[in-house]
Amino acid sequence: MAALLYLLTGIVTAIPVIWFFGWAVWGAPMSLTMYVSILGSSLLVASAAIGIRRRRVAARLALVGAFAIWSFYLPAIVSTVQVRLSDQELSLLVMRWTPSSSALVIKELEETPGFPDTKLSPSETEKIKAMGLTGRLETTGGGLYGRGSRSRVILILQKQVVEAVELKQPNASSIVYLQDGEKWRAFPPDAPTLNRTIRIEPWADDPTQTSVGVELASGARQGFGIMWPTAAVKDTGK
């Protein structure tokens, strides 16, 4: 029975750690304790193999393995609780701005099932008009990330970025980020923010796209790409 218990514990405790390894592909942080925990699970499996004939040695080996496993699971439990408490539902809308001397024209995408926030609310429309923009403003994409208190970000891009930019996510509030030349302006500038960011950068090997990645409470990132007309890409010198 002891050998069977060691074997089952070793297998069951290894599965979540392997699952976390899979999240690393999406940018989730790795830690030394994950490798230590896998070693601990392996020690439990080894204990099961030798436990039938050498119970005392197997028990000592299993004890070491259990301590190794908890080096990952205890911090992971604490981290999971922190993630749940700090998570929020972030609604992101990205718009492309083509400045001109004519009055502002806003072109929006039709609402898509599952993405109800791809259109501006009346108050958001008034806020953008109050920023003094002229020319053409069109929606290029958006998404919904996380769960919890609601936040809203509207990104207004004028051109392809030449290097990575990280903008802070609002904390249960709403922010409009405007690309003004090489700088970014926030409206309102005093909105409460989190340490988590929205990362904007040129798409690898494709100058016609901009990558927008939202940092999740888990540390991973999710996002999408924005297509640029060829003329707009040439203006950046790429």
Q: For residues 160 and 141, is the Cβ–Cβ distance under 8 A?
A: no
The more confident residue out of 35 and 26 is 35
Locate 6 and state its tokens.
């060691």
Antiparallel, parallel or unpaired: β 183-187 and 174-180: antiparallel
Report the chain's mean pLDDT, rounded to a whole number: 82
pLDDT at 114 over 60: no
Where does the pLDDT of residue 171 fall: very low under 50, low under 70, confident under 90, or very high at 90 and above?
very high
One-letter amino acid of 74: L
What is the Cα–Cα distance from 185 to 39, expressed in whole angstroms? 49
Q: What is the pLDDT at residue 231?
A: 52
Model pLDDT, residue 154 = 95
209-215 and 193-202 beta bridge pairing: antiparallel
- Residue 213, pLDDT above cutoff 70: yes
More confident residue, 64 or 26: 64
For residue 116, give both structure tokens: 């109800």
Q: Is residue 192 very low, low, confident or very high in pLDDT (cuts 50, 70, 90)?
A: very high
Task: Name the percent of the chain in helix, strand, coil, to the closest 5.
Answer: 40, 30, 30
Compute the average pLDDT of residues 120-136: 90
Instruction: Please check the confidence at residue 111 and state whether its pLDDT lies above 70.
Output: no
* Residue 98 token pair: 């083509």
Structure tokens at 17: 């750690």
**Cα gap 204→98, rounded to integer Å:** 24
pLDDT at 169 over 90: yes
More confident residue, 4 or 148: 148
Measure the CA–CA gap between 72 and 38, rounded to whole angstroms. 9
Q: Residue 108 has what pLDDT?
A: 78
pLDDT for res 230 = 64
CA atoms within 13 A on the CB side of 75: 13
Q: Answer whether 58's CB lies under 8 Å from 6's CB.
A: yes
List, in sequence order, every residue forming a beta bridge with 212; answer none if it has no partner.
200, 224
Q: What is the DSSP letter of 190?
A: T
Q: Which of 185, 201, 172 is nearest to 128 (CA)?
A: 185
For residue 189, which of 164, 168, 158, 215 has the smallest C-alpha distance?
Answer: 168
Q: Measure the CA–CA gap between 123 and 100, rounded to whole angstroms.
A: 23
| Mean pLDDT confidence for 93-102 | 91
What is the tens place of the pLDDT at every residue in 136-162? 999 888 889 988 889 999 999 999 888
Query: pTM higher than 0.95, yes or no?
Result: no
CB 144 within 8 A of CB 117: yes
> Is a pLDDT exceeding 70 seen at residue 61?
yes
Alpha-carbon gap, residue 160 to 5, rounded angstroms: 57
Flag whether pLDDT at 25 surpasses 70. no
Domain residue extents for the chain: 2-86, 88-235
